[in-house]
Amino acid sequence: MNIKTHHKTCATLVGTPLEVGNNFSRVFLTATDQMAVDDTGLIHGGFIFGLADYAAMLAVNHPNVVLGAADARFLKPVKVGEGIIAEASVEPGDGKKRMVTVRVLRGEDCVFTGVFTCFTLDRHVLAPSD
C-alpha cells in the first residue's frame, strides 16, 4: 500500500488500513473497552466516525487532504469486542473538492453510512502563510 497521508494516525483509535487503492480504501477497527460509554459495552459514535473519516482520507490519499463536511448516519450500535470495517470510495470528479462515500460494516450489517466532503490543499493546512 502506498499511503501518502495521515502517517501518524493511531490504529487503536481509528483503525488499521487493509487496502488502499485508486480512490478506494478499507480500514479495520476492533471496538475496545476504552471506547465504551456504559456497562453494556456500547461504543461511542465518535470512534465509528473516526474510522469512517480515516477511510475517506485514505481513499483520497493526498498528502494535504482535509475534511470539510460530513453527512453521517448511524444505523446500528457497535459493542466492545466487535470488529468493523470501513469501505470508502471517492466519487468521480476532478479538482480540489472530492466527495467520498463511506460504509462501515459489522459482518454483513451496515452500521454507518456517510458522505464526506474532502479537500486537497496545495500545502498542509497548518503550514505557515507566506
Distance CA 104, CA 128 (A): 36
Q: What is the pLDDT of residue 64?
A: 96
Count of CB atoms situated within 10 Å of the CB of 97: 11
For 8, phi then psi, to 5°, come to: -100, 15
CB 70 within 8 A of CB 54: no
In-domain check, residue 2: no
Q: What is the pLDDT of residue 37?
A: 97
Distance CA 119, CA 127 (A): 15
Tens-level pLDDT at each residue, the chain (130 residues): 899 999 999 999 999 999 999 999 999 999 999 999 999 999 999 999 999 999 999 999 999 999 999 999 999 999 999 999 999 999 998 889 999 999 999 999 999 999 999 999 999 988 888 7
In-domain check, residue 3: no
Global pTM? 0.95
Q: Which domain holds residue 44?
A: 11-119
In-domain check, residue 51: yes
For 35, the 3-state DSSP assignment is helix
Please give the tally of structural domains in the chain. 1
